[in-house]
Chain A
Amino acid sequence: MSLSLPTPEPAAHNGRLSDLHAPLKAPRRKSLVNPVKIAPYLFIAPFFLLFGLFIAFPLLFSLYLSFQSWDATAGLASMKWVGLSNFIFTLTDPWYWKSLYNTASMAIMSGLPQHLIALPLAFFLQTAFRRWRNFVVGLYFLPFITSSVAIALIFSSLYSTDFGMINLAIAAIGKLPGLHWIVPAHPIEWLYSPPNVKPAVSLVIFWRYVGWNTVLYLSALQTIPKDLYEAAKIDGANGWQQFTRITIPLIKPMIFFAVTLSIIGGLQLFEEPFILLPNEGMGTSQSGLTTAVYMYRTAFHDGDFGTASSIAWLLFITIAALMWLNTRIFHRSGMNEENQR
């Protein structure tokens, strides 16, 4: 937003500011450099120094690396240009495709429910809560600011097969009349049995980010003028109609933004599966291996930095492609250029 639109007030001030300054400077000591001209560059220099060294350079270097064959232990001299062969290797590697499939399915399994719950939840919090709203929002938001390692450790204990809270809760619910069928014959192996791994990890991710999305939607809802709802009510619209006809269209840019964040975050899944699943995030027969974890293993277990970089860039390209698709879909559904930026 701030990138494309002219900044209203401060920019106008600034223009005048430097004009005013010019005549004032003249009587002072003559100097070759005008401090007002140099100062801004000095002020932004530390940031851009860090940016260049730790963000831009690593990025370009990883692109360079993806065309090299390199054994990390043998030093920089052992680097060898291999053209596209890292990419070809990765694209023909069944584990890469499996990891991509795992990542995508966990991203959907955790991401879709997040938005389906966060949006109505935010709407209800906005309309029906007043004094307690901040408190309740805080409870939902709490997991977002908690260490992913602590979260994964808590859930490893809750998911434990024999005495984990989750299996015990299922057993307890099964004792209620008419519900005995929900208890499986054997306790569920959440983190070890391949078909359960993805839902189990997805639940943790859902739990961690649903509050974040709620907060995003809530902040968008708060920008909708109240009289719109008043007018709709006078015209006889009920709660559901107000939600679908006023709320949804007006917060579409935020839905786009929140979904974009979920796509970016979902495809980078690393910490939760890495800690929850046995064998450093592999899961039984790679059932929980995400692409980011696969990349990490390729680099730091196998020492193959070139191939790992090609995995990183392929994943990045995938994310970029999905973002493009996402933009197209939102575009087509009638969101104009202005709102979207």
Chain B
Amino acid sequence: MKLSNNKARYTGYAIVMAGALLMFSPFYFMFVFATHTSSEIFSMPPPLWFGNAFLDNMASLMRHIPFWRNLGWSFYTATLQTLLTLLVTSMAGYAFAMYEFRFKKTLFAVALTAMLVPPFLSMIPTFMTMNLLGWINQPRALYVPGAAAALGVFLMRQYVASAIPSDLIEAARIDGCGEFRIYWSVVLPLLGPALGTLGLISFIQAWNNFLSALVVLRSPSMYTLPLALRILQSPTNSDWGAVMAGSAVAVLPLLVLFAFTSRRLIDGLTTGAVKA
């Protein structure tokens, strides 16, 4: 369908593109500010183009926080959470799609309720559970609970049901393949696209996770990036050049990832949201 009126249409283009620029501008200023000193950022006129203080800002950043450690913990936590999520949810999704068993429907419904539990509701008891387990200040307090991803179970179940023919499973069974080996050697290799999409979603979630990190991580040397960046901010005297450089480095990996995978990521997130 086309809009009948050309004038309205071009006005529409102009508004949508101006909006897109406005949406992107905070990112632009973050990258520009990351390359200027604090005094340059807050001067008249403000910097609108890249400067050359990025390395100085990074150096100053590292005086305030153990930046490389924090970056490392972020990668470590996000990677492990992604792998664990893929393993746990693909097994569960496969079972829900390909087997008949008692209480299947009820169990699946229960699994999906996990999506509706507001995170703030379990904040306090999660802290206490971690305390009990001795996981306070440990990255595993983030990536192990993070793997209980209801959205993942749902996406995997959908994908297995649509992409894996049950004849294939049956054939493997006749050939004497054990149940776990069917999953591991026959099903899992065929789940590529779904694993890719869910992997992206899990990685981004884990990378950005602030709330759980705030509750379970206690010392700056164990902080993931979001938590570390926050301690840079002080109401009176923030080193804004360093803050922006740190934020830019934290955001950049996701921007690059997103540039190549946006279609897939958006499709994955909306399928989960729309069909669940």
Contact = CB atoms under 8 A, between A and B. Distances in A.
Interface of A: 1-3, 7, 9-10, 13-18, 20-21, 24, 35-37, 39-44, 46-48, 50-51, 53-55, 57-59, 61-62, 65, 121, 124-125, 127-129, 134, 136-143, 145-151, 153-158, 160, 162-163, 165, 168, 207, 210-211, 215-216, 219-220, 226, 229-230, 233, 238-239, 242, 254, 257, 261, 264, 268, 270-271, 275, 278-279, 292, 295-296, 299-300, 305, 308-309, 312-313, 315-316, 319
Contacts of A46: 87-88, 91-92
Contacts of B123: 295-296, 299, 312
Given A147-B226, A150-B226, A296-B120, 4 more contacts: A24-B173, A146-B254, A220-B274, A295-B120
Nearest to A16: B166
23 contacts: A14-B166, A36-B99, A41-B101, A48-B107, A54-B129, A54-B148, A55-B114, A58-B125, A59-B121, A124-B12, A127-B2, A128-B9, A142-B23, A142-B27, A142-B255, A153-B229, A154-B27, A154-B247, A162-B42, A216-B270, A299-B127, A305-B128, A309-B125
A305 B127 CA distance: 11
Interface in B159-186: 160-161, 166, 169-170, 173-174, 178-180, 183
Given A51-B111, A146-B251, A62 B148 contact: no
Contacts of A292: 120
Given A3-B108, A233-B1, A319-B118, A50 B166 contact: no
Nearest to B173: A21
Contacts of B95: 39-41, 43-44
Interface of B: 1-5, 8-9, 12-13, 16-17, 19-20, 23-24, 26-27, 29-30, 33, 41-46, 87-89, 91-92, 94-101, 104-105, 107-112, 114, 116-129, 144-145, 147-148, 153-154, 158, 160-161, 166, 169-170, 173-174, 178-180, 183, 204, 207-208, 210-211, 215, 225-227, 229-230, 232-233, 235, 238, 240, 243-244, 247, 250-251, 254-255, 258-259, 262-263, 265-266, 269-270, 273-276
A212 to B, nearest CB: 8
A65 B119 CA distance: 16
A37 to B, nearest CB: 7
Contact of A145 (B118, B179, B265, B274): B265
Contacts of B275: 1-2
Given A9-B161, A308-B124, A17 B169 contact: yes
A219 B89 CA distance: 25
A319 B117 CA distance: 11
A127 B251 contact: no
A57 B44 CA distance: 55
B98 A10 contact: yes
Contacts of B27: 142, 146, 154
Contacts of A13: 166
A43 to B, nearest CB: 4
A334 to B, nearest CB: 21
A275 to B, nearest CB: 6
A230 B270 contact: no
A268 B120 contact: yes
A55 B148 contact: yes
Contact of B124 (A138, A149, A268, A305): A305
B238 to A, nearest CB: 8
Contact of B226 (A36, A53, A149, A257): A149
A16 B169 CA distance: 12
